[in-house]
Amino acid sequence: MLTLFYGKLRTPQMDADGTFTWFLKAQAFRFWATMKKPASLLIIGALGEGKTVLSKFVLKNLNKEKQKNLMIIYFFLFRSGR
């Protein structure tokens, strides 16, 4: 599983034109997206950093690529007390 710490990749200036396109160009994401065998991608970040919106963007773009034999499974976890 490849883990990306979203808060370390994102900067506030990136949220204007081309919102989240920077993520699709990130070396770690490209590595994961072009793997030949099944792999998981775990995105970790603090509350309110935009992980859900980022995930929606990534899913939309992966679906656009319409790769043969592409299966996307996603879920969101929340842990209280942190």
Residues 10-32: pLDDT tens digits?
655 554 557 788 888 888 888 88
Q: pTM of the predicted model, to two decimals?
A: 0.61
Which range marks the domain in which residue 59 is found? 2-65
User: Is 35 inside a domain boundary?
Assistant: yes
| pLDDT score at 51 | 84
User: Is 77 inside a domain boundary?
Assistant: no
Q: Which residues contact 7 (CB under 8 A, 6 or more apart)?
A: 45, 46, 49
| pLDDT score at 73 | 75
Question: Total domain count for the chain?
Answer: 1
User: Is 24 inside a domain boundary?
Assistant: yes
Q: Is the pLDDT of residue 77 over 60?
A: yes
Task: Give CA–CA dist 56/78, Å, rounded.
Answer: 17
| pLDDT score at 50 | 83
Determine what percent of the chain is predicted with pLDDT higher than 90: 0
User: Is 72 inside a domain boundary?
Assistant: no
